[in-house]
Amino acid sequence: MAHIDQSNRVPKNDTDVSIYMKSLLNDAGTIPIDEDVDSYEISLPPWYDEEKFKRGQQFFNRNFAATMAAALCGLVSVFAIPSILEVLIFTNRSSTPVTAYKRYVLTILHTLNWYREAMKPGSNCWKSLEYVRRIHAVSSKQANTKHPKMLISQKDMAITQFGFIGYVMIGPRKLGIQYDEKELEGFVHLWRTIGHMLGIQERFNLCTDSASKTLRRMEALNEQIVRPALQVSSADFEQMTRALVDGLWCYNFLMEYNTFVFLTRRLSNVPGHYYWDDEQRDTPKALYEEFSWYSRAMLNFTLVLHEIFLNYTVLRWFFNWYGKINIIVNWYFPWLAMLSYGIKNAYVRLVY
């Protein structure tokens, strides 16, 4: 197993990172993802490499359980960004457990298309990306019409891109991610391509032609934007996060609010979120010590799963298999969602 060298966190003389973050912080926040919903055509970038893209999909398949957990934590981190949270609240499609269940199961299904289907015109992957980009453009336009300063910006999309791949890059050991160098380069290429297809301009695309360069950008984005946001908890953040966890509990009964917020902040290296005896103490007391016995038990299981179990091939295969079977079961017979939200709301299907 190969690992990207993470010993030097965002070198001060890293010109690429400095230019990228300056552009992201100063320019990207005022540029909408798409000016007009009818003015674009989705197309592959000139640097697209099909072989690399498929290697990225293989990476996901080998790390199914870890990558899905990383994406859920990434979603929690995105809720901490005020400009993104405002639009999510405005759309009113994920503020309660039932609406969150429907919205984020759709997100899971779309993402699985990107990870499994061929990237070519007419494929489910292609149609899914067209649909998501169109929805982003419409939501941004509606929000901006009613609230002139509210929009889905290039900056918001880059941060959302971090939500899907950021923790995979900056916290592989905490997630139990296994990879070789070519697979990781493929995964970065996959998300560079997806970012382009969803309308992120090349200068704001968090992913580059190099995994090591991409890692440095993600470290900087985490340190300058995500981590500070996660250290400030608002009532809206808690409401949206609880709706997410309570809603998706029907999809995966292992989800628990305190566990996923702690895991998210731990991945972003927020002070106080240490757990193991051999970890450096950056606060007098670990925050998990204030949890209920149930939250502490779920946190312990989650951390053991990712930081110990997933490092063993047989156990990783088992939990990957469990995750994939769980998705199939919920596609055909989402029984927990039926009991909680009724049959009509329980069945979620993609419409392109």
Give the orientation angle of helix 257-267 with respect to helix 64-79, to 10 degrees.
90
pLDDT score, position 137: 82
pLDDT of 99 above 70: yes
pLDDT of 33 above 90: no
pLDDT score, position 8: 40
pLDDT score, position 12: 53
pLDDT score, position 13: 60
pLDDT of 169 above 60: yes
List the one residue out of 101, 102, 98, 124 whose CA is nearest residue 113.
Answer: 124
CB-based burial, 102-129: b 16+ in 10 Å, e otherwise: bbbbbbbbbbbbbbeeebeeeebbbbbb
Cβ 248 vs Cβ 41: under 8 Å = no
Chain-centre distance of CA 249, in angstroms?
17
Confidence of residue 101 (pLDDT cuts 50, 70, 90): very high
> Which of 90-94, 160-164, 185-189, 211-215 has the weakest average pLDDT?
90-94
pLDDT of 130 above 70: yes
Task: For the chain, report the end-to-end CA distance as a whole number of angstroms.
Answer: 38
pLDDT digits (tens, 9 = 90+) for 62-79: 999 999 999 999 999 999
What's the whole-number mean pLDDT along residues 314-328? Answer: 96
List the one residue out of 216, 157, 165, 161 whose CA is nearest residue 20.
Answer: 216
What's the whole-number mean pLDDT along residues 24-33? Answer: 93
Percent of the chain whose pLDDT exceeds 70 = 94
Cβ 207 vs Cβ 57: under 8 Å = no
pLDDT score, position 2: 42
